[in-house]
Amino acid sequence: MITQSTFGEMPDGTVIEQFCLTNNQGVSLEILSLGGIIRRWLIPHNAKPPTDIVLGFDSVQAYLSDDSYLGALVGRYANRIAEGKLCLESKNYQLDINQGDNCLHGGSQGFNNKVWQSTVLSRDENPAIALQLESPDGDQGFPGALSTKVIYTLTESNRLKIEYFATSKRTTVFNPTNHSYFNLSGHNSGSVNNQHIQVVASYYTPTDAHAIPTGELIKVEGTPFDFRKLSTIEQALTSAHPQIQYGNGLDHNLCIDSYDPQSQEAKYAAKATSENTDISLKVYTTMPGIQVFTANHFDHKKGKQDSLYHAHQGLCFETQFYPDSPNQPQFPSATLKAGEAFYSVTEYEVLF
Ligand code: G6D
């Protein structure tokens, strides 16, 4: 089932729609036409009120004035491109610099700030909506007029399937993701430290102090990034490892072992679980990397229902190409050639 309502207005008066997708198991999601934001994700319980497992806000203004991309679609390029420098087919491009010396998440006016054209695709079984966006040639410095579509489908097996489609008139780079912050004990339940995660990744990409990859692929064995077995998030956050110290927590790309550039089938990549609520989340994707981020700089961030979000109150599993891959030829390529059809799919399955 899908219900539609008005969530608010942009400063120029553009109305922001809210779509509530509910399946027959009682799982429901609220998705906004602003940035394709997943605002609420409600998991039913027999005798208790539902648990809202994602962090978010209650107004358009709160989303527009925040820099944490809560629940948002991110692009053209999720994560960083060093110094915003891009060289494609022997042409150099300068992207918008919006974090230090680098381009983060597609620049200061990336996909998260845009109003997407929204269409209901299926109202009953497997409710689904399509969000479409036209990004003009030169948008935030990226070459090529890009048409992109994202389809959110809530299945009867409690998976949120996110399909990304794009074509560009000129060769460009494209690395979309969704930036939901999960807290499986409830968005306002405090830190995720005692929750457990697994990431099926034998390597990670270490960074400098500004989250720019060094270009190396380092084995996770013996490091706080070894989540091949279900481990508490706390064991990583309390590590003295310099990579953890850089960002006051986890904020790293892990290299998914099951990645197959030829496959369009989402493979199992990661899991999170809360013993407080017995809610688990599994992540499946066609992408090569997953940014594990633990909301390291949140400090009294006013969230939904007057809650306050603090450091380590959310966990992001941002499926992606590796950061700065346009400048790291040894990483899987995020180049989208003129006229080529891009497709990727990520699925978040909730078990409860
Ligand atoms: C910080 O380094 C992190 C990013 O990975 C994250 O996406 C952003 O905050 C919201 O810059």
pLDDT at 5 (0 to 100): 98
| CB of 181 closer than 6 angstroms to any ligand 1 atom | no
The number of folded domains in the chain is: 1
pTM above 0.85, yes or no: yes
Centre of ligand 1 to C-alpha 166, Å, is 24
Sequential DSSP letters for 69-106: -TT-EE-SBSSEEGGGEEEETTEEEEPPP-BTTBEETT
pLDDT at 123 (0 to 100): 82
pLDDT at 122 (0 to 100): 85
| CB of 77 closer than 6 angstroms to any ligand 1 atom | no
pLDDT at 237 (0 to 100): 95
**Token couple for 83:** 């110094």
Distance between CA atoms of 182 and 178, rounded to whole angstroms? 11
Provide the 3-class DSSP secondary structure of residue 46: coil
pLDDT at 294 (0 to 100): 98
Q: Which atom of ligand 1 is nearest to the CA of 99?
A: 11
Q: Which atom of ligand 1 is nearest to the CA of 316?
A: 7
- Range(s) of the domain holding residue 280: 2-351
Distance between CA atoms of 182 and 176, rounded to whole angstroms? 18
Q: What is the CATH number of the domain that holds 88?
A: 2.70.98.10
Distance between CA atoms of 121 and 98, rounded to whole angstroms? 35
**Which one of 99, 102, 250 would you pick to mutate in the ligand 1 pocket, going by the greatest count of ligand atoms within 8 A of its CB?**
99
Question: Are 151 and 130 contacting, i.e. CB atoms less than 8 angstroms apart?
Answer: yes
Blockwise average pLDDT, block size 10, the chain, 352 residues: 97 98 97 98 91 98 98 98 97 98 98 97 91 98 98 98 98 98 98 98 97 98 98 96 93 97 96 97 98 96 96 98 98 98 98 96
Centre of ligand 1 to C-alpha 68, Å, is 7
Centre of ligand 1 to C-alpha 295, Å, is 8
| CB of 18 closer than 6 angstroms to any ligand 1 atom | no
Distance between CA atoms of 162 and 207, rounded to whole angstroms? 28
| CB of 68 closer than 6 angstroms to any ligand 1 atom | yes
Which parts of the chain fold into alpha helices (H)?
60-64, 233-237, 242-247
Distance between CA atoms of 315 and 336, rounded to whole angstroms? 29
Strands 15-22 and 85-88: unpaired
Q: Which atom of ligand 1 is nearest to the CA of 68?
A: 10
Distance between CA atoms of 172 and 334, rounded to whole angstroms? 8
| CB of 253 closer than 6 angstroms to any ligand 1 atom | no
List active site positions.
Answer: 179, 318
pLDDT at 347 (0 to 100): 98
Name which of 194, 181, 152 is nearest 295 in CA terms.
181
| CB of 78 closer than 6 angstroms to any ligand 1 atom | no
